[in-house]
Amino acid sequence: MIARRQFITGIGSAAAWPVVARAQQPAVPVIGFLDFGAPETTNMAAFRSGLSDTGFSEGRNLAIEYRFAYSDRDRLSELAADLISRRVAVIAAWSGAVVTLAVKAATTTIPIVFQIGDDPVEVGLVTNLNRPGGNVTGMTSMNGEIFAKRLELLHKMVPGAVRIAVLLGEKESGPFVGPLLIKPTQAAAASIGLQIEVLTASTDREIDSAFASLVQKRSDALLVGAYSLFYEYRAQIVALAARHAVPASYFTPAFVDGGGLTSYGPKSYDDMARQGGIYVGRILKGEKAGDLPVIRPTKFEFVINLKTAKALGLTIPETLLATADEVIQ
């Protein structure tokens, strides 16, 4: 009996070994992901690819808490607070400076990696691009500078244009970021004698209203801002531009593939998302957000839809066609 009891005790101890082993395993890090838009408009595959480059894989050695604002700026503070309450190790703040501003206002300790289109210094997210300091860093496409370049290219395509409408995502840009974005565009417009008319939209219906205003004001051309809302409703925007015969410049070739006139912007927004994943991974491994320089795009892509140009009655200069990365016949 004694021998049997010892055997049973031994079995019980052995059965406990896996439990003890599991308890001694390090906890899987959890990161927060807060996006202004919706899951279907977020380049998560590229972000996960960046995490993988640093050795992290969701479901294996990393967990991700996702939060989406669905284009409602008023929800950002609540969503940021929710992620912070879950003690996440890093927060990825995606698709706009307003997202990062909401997260930064909620925490000064949790590292934040952003993906925005604005100048992070002017917006007040960092003090220096090369050495951000604090708990914030990330990727920016510097849309203000790109807007000015897009205006220049659009003017060469439509040399007779005088009044240029600029469509901004009101809730994504906000009352502070919007003026910073449009400032370099207005300066560029003034230098070549053009007038800028700012229009805003926060819903698909407001996009319709913006185009009605554009027609009423007799704008000669349109610059569409780089916002997740506009990407989501790109088919609607391209259709409205065609219906009203308005030459329009977009921020990604996806619009041009769908019949838009032209686009100019970073060669790969997916690469920006991948770099964001890499930064999150590096921070998880011990690097400080404030020591990681803000990444800016170095390669840009210029695309022209020649079929759309002909439908609009435009003759694109050969010199301009020669500089395009892609010409859709």
Is residue 143 over pLDDT 70?
yes
Confidence at residue 21, expressed as pLDDT on a 0 to 100 scale:
42
Q: Is the same domain home to 150 and 177?
A: yes
pLDDT in tens, 40-88: 878 899 999 999 999 999 999 999 999 999 888 899 999 999 999 999 9
Is residue 159 over pLDDT 90?
yes
Could you tell me if residue 228 is inside a domain? yes
**Long-range own/partner contacts, residues 175-184 (CB < 8 A, 24 or more apart):** 176/123, 177/96, 177/97, 177/98, 177/118, 177/123, 180/118, 180/119, 180/122, 180/123, 180/144, 181/117, 181/118, 181/143, 181/144, 181/147, 181/225, 182/144, 182/147, 183/144, 184/144, 184/145, 184/147, 184/148
Confidence at residue 5, expressed as pLDDT on a 0 to 100 scale:
36
Per-residue pLDDT band at 178 (split at 50, 70, 90)? low
Could you tell me if residue 6 is inside a domain? no
263: helix, coil or strand? strand
- The DSSP bridge pattern shows strands 30-35 and 326-328 to be unpaired
Could you tell me if residue 249 is inside a domain? yes
Share the mean pLDDT of the chain: 88
Could you tell me if residue 16 is inside a domain? no
The mean pLDDT value for 129-142 works out to 94
pLDDT in tens, 230-278: 988 999 999 999 999 999 999 999 999 999 999 999 988 889 999 999 9
Q: How many Å apart are CA 38 and CA 22, to the nearest integer? A: 36
Residue 95, both tokens: 């698709």
Confidence at residue 310, expressed as pLDDT on a 0 to 100 scale:
97
Q: Is the same domain home to 37 and 180?
A: no
Confidence at residue 176, expressed as pLDDT on a 0 to 100 scale:
47
Could you tell me if residue 22 is inside a domain? no
Q: Is the same domain home to 136 and 189?
A: no
Q: Is the pTM of this model over 0.85?
A: no
Confidence at residue 295, expressed as pLDDT on a 0 to 100 scale:
96
Total domain count, the chain: 2
Lowest mean pLDDT among 36-45, 131-140, 251-260, 313-322: 36-45
Could you tell me if residue 66 is inside a domain? yes
Residue 266, both tokens: 């970073």
Q: How many Å apart are CA 36 and CA 92, to the nearest integer? A: 11
Residue with tokens 């027609």: 215
Q: Is the same domain home to 38 and 118?
A: yes
Q: Is the same domain home to 132 and 38?
A: yes
Could you tell me if residue 110 is inside a domain? yes
Confidence at residue 16, expressed as pLDDT on a 0 to 100 scale:
42
Could you tell me if residue 214 is inside a domain? yes
Burial class from Cβ neighbours inside 10 Å (0-12, 13-18, 19+) for residue 2 reads exposed
Q: Is the same domain home to 197 and 135?
A: no
Per-residue pLDDT band at 210 (split at 50, 70, 90)? very high
Q: How many Å apart are CA 77 and CA 117, to the nearest integer? A: 20
Confidence at residue 4, expressed as pLDDT on a 0 to 100 scale:
37
User: What is the CATH classification number for the domain harbouring 273?
Assistant: 3.40.50.2300
The mean pLDDT value for 95-108 works out to 93
Find the domain containing 59 and state its range: 30-140+268-291
Confidence at residue 43, expressed as pLDDT on a 0 to 100 scale:
85
Comparison of pLDDT for 6 and 132, the residue scoring more? 132
Q: What secondary structure does DSSP assign to 2-15, as a single string?
A: HHHHHHHHHHHHHH
Decide: 219 and 197 in contact? Cβ < 8 Å.
yes
Bridge partners of 113? 92, 137
Q: How many Å apart are CA 91 and CA 110, to the nearest integer? A: 7
- CB within 8 Å of 302: residues ≥ 6 apart: 153, 262, 263, 264, 323, 324, 325, 326
Is residue 106 over pLDDT 90?
yes
Per-residue pLDDT band at 180 (split at 50, 70, 90)? low
